[in-house]
Amino acid sequence: MQEPEVVLARLGAAFGDQPHDLRLHGRVNVAPDRREWIEGLLAAGMDRLSPADLDMLVYRAISTVGGTPTFKFALSRFLAVMLLEPAFGAGAVSDAFVILPKLDHARFEAWPEEERRAILEALELWAERRLTADPADVPAAALRTWVETRRDIG
């Protein structure tokens, strides 16, 4: 398992310039009931998202807000928050049972190696920290298992 500084640096290198697709062809790329929320985020600036905004972007990405580019944008930043501010995770809605199906839907295995490595290392560190705090943390165990199976295939 990598040191937190290394994991955070890899997330930044892999996803620092990751665009989102919340606006396509001059239109907001979201379900109608998410329009006002996303327009507010875009107006405030996507570099100023709160941990709660990142959490909700991960939770809603692909299904009602943006697509895979938005998911990559939000997930990489959400994981950085989880590693820098672990206490926030207690109230987050985006856990293994949200993130892992979205990674599969977003064809994680087809992502560039640098991106896959950064996400795997971040998920692994997040899971290990959570399991150290609570060995019975089922979502964290699911994260660890998912990471282990992905490391085995590639």
Residue boundaries of the structural domains of the chain:
4-153
Asked whether the predicted pLDDT for residue 121 surpasses 70, the reply is yes
Q: What percent of the chain lies above the pLDDT cut of 90?
A: 91
> What is the model's pTM?
0.94
pLDDT for the residue 154: 52
Q: CB count, 10 Å around CB of 153?
A: 6
Query: Which tops the pLDDT comparison, 86 or 38?
Result: 38
Closest CA to 100 of 44, 39, 149, 137: 149
Average of per-residue pLDDT values in the chain: 94
